[in-house]
Amino acid sequence: LHLFSFLDKNSRKNLAKTCHKLLEVFEDPLLWPLLNFHSPVELKKDNFLLGPALKYLSICWYSERVKVCNIEDWMKNSFQRDFCNRHENTVRDFLLQVCNRCPNLLSLTLSGCGHVTDDSILLLLRSCPKLRTLKLENCVRITDRSLQAVTLHGGALHTLHVDFCRNITQAGLQRVREQCPSVMLRAERSANMIPDSQPDKKLRLERASRKLVEL
């Protein structure tokens, strides 16, 4: 186990193929308290083990392709939709496995995961009651519903980051500050960014504002 701990996921898998004894080491849950992924593709590989020993999980995608996922759905062209369809549910399905297998998770970091929704965060908070750190960065589908889930189910949370999440509002952040004063909250740029809004919604808002001005 000590020797395996120095190897990356691929090296561990390759070494496990050499004999049954090393395969047993690879499958030992104690080898997998920490998992780091750098793209959705890595989540589909069989070079790691998900289990109750997992405490620290990070999925950080910094590729230029993240920009495509961050485009509002109603603005995407057919090529962009096709690209997103290939991995739209990958992170969501993986987090569902985490909810089912990793009740002792202490820390989760998601960066550039443009298709992660509030439902995934809500389920995770319910399934992993020991979660102490939740860091969300550039997750464009995350809204105030996730913040509400934190106030209801994040009893063990000490740290919450929602950086560059454009659909987070100041009202949602204030609610967390009031109801969870012990949580270290950081929201860099989130509530100051322009939230998603389809053109017809914008027109309705503009008309409503004009009416208010006239009154």
- What residue numbers bound the domain in which 25 lies? 1-31
pLDDT at 49: 95
Q: Tell me the pTM.
A: 0.85
Strand, coil or helix: what is 51?
coil
Q: Pick the closest to residue 146 from 85, 95, 202 (CA basis).
A: 95
Residue with tokens 């979660």: 131
Q: Amino acid identity of 11?
A: S
Which stretches of the chain score pLDDT less than 70?
A: 74, 198-215
What per-residue string of b and e applies to 109-126 under the rule 16 or more CB within 10 Å gives b? bbbbbbbbbbebbbbbbe
Same structural domain, 118 and 136: yes
Same structural domain, 87 and 172: yes
Same structural domain, 17 and 62: no
The CATH number covering residue 156 comes to 3.80.10
CB atoms within 10 A of CB 158: 15
Q: Amino acid identity of 58?
A: S
**Per-residue pLDDT tens for 176-196?**
999 999 999 999 988 888 777
Q: Pick the closest to residue 150 from 165, 140, 135, 137 (CA basis).
A: 135
Same structural domain, 15 and 39: no
Same structural domain, 100 and 135: yes
Alpha-carbon distance 171 to 198, whole Å? 21
pLDDT at 155: 95
Same structural domain, 61 and 11: no
Same structural domain, 60 and 23: no
pLDDT at 211: 52
pLDDT at 134: 98
Same structural domain, 186 and 105: yes
CA-based R_g, the chain, Å: 20
CB of 146 closer than 8 Å to CB of 119? no
pLDDT at 200: 65
pLDDT at 201: 56
pLDDT at 88: 82
Same structural domain, 99 and 175: yes
**How many domains is the chain partitioned into structurally?**
2
pLDDT at 152: 96
Residues 6+ apart with CB under 8 A from 45: 9
Same structural domain, 20 and 75: no
Alpha-carbon distance 134 to 121, whole Å? 9
Same structural domain, 124 and 85: yes
Same structural domain, 95 and 198: yes
